[in-house]
Amino acid sequence: MNGDIDEWGRRLIHRRTVICKGFLRADGLWDIEGRLDDSKSHPMTLVQGRVVSAGETYHGMLIRLTLDDDFIVHEVQVSMPHVPTSECRGVVQAYQSLIGERIGPGFSRRIKELFGGVGGCVHLTELLLPIATTAFQTIPMARATVAPRTTADAEAFDKAANGLINSCHALREDGPVALILKS
């Protein structure tokens, strides 16, 4: 690699990094968090006049949802340490309306209803989708493999696994993976 030019002769202009993590809390609830960071490969002047250096984060946001085994949201924490304009932070409180919502079928539609247009931040709202996927990758498998095991945990895993049936091609109802999950 030569500077910002890669082996195919392309010049890097924009970098978005999304990292999601799932945690089991001591109280048995789950913290699922997502972080989004945007940067440019060149200096950029933002709307309010601040200059962002090459490689410096100008969108830096975190959402943490606290969920139970049924994927119900109990707590929401939003942090926006790096934003292009001070106006961005005016939407933080709106995400508290996720409390009581369930991550499952219809969640994508629901977050668009709640936070579409001026009702939310497009970056935070987009971040909720990989957070939802991370919840499904975290909770059922942890209950099945590493979290304290009880009969209720086995039932929670079975319920979550069955909820994934027909969610994609590999998990189609008549496919081999679904048959294993159902057994």
Structure tokens at 177: 């993976």
pLDDT band at 39 (very low <50, low <70, confident <90, very high): very high
The rounded distance, in Å, linking the Cα atoms of 139 and 165 is 16
Number of domains in the chain: 1
Exposure class string for 48-80: b at 16+ Cβ within 10 A, else e: eeeebeeeebbbbbbbbbbbebebbbeebebeb
For residue 105, being part of any structural domain is answered with: yes
For residue 37, being part of any structural domain is answered with: yes
Least reliable range by pLDDT among 61-75, 83-97, 110-124, 139-153: 139-153
For 2-20, write each residue's pLDDT tens digit.
457 889 999 999 999 999 9
For residue 7, being part of any structural domain is answered with: no
Q: What pLDDT does 157 receive?
A: 63
The rounded distance, in Å, linking the Cα atoms of 77 and 135 is 16
For residue 179, being part of any structural domain is answered with: no
For residue 178, being part of any structural domain is answered with: no
Mean pLDDT, range 134-145, rounded to an integer: 86
Instruction: Please report how the helices 122-145 and 107-115 are oriented relative to each other, as an axis angle in degrees rounded to 10.
Output: 150
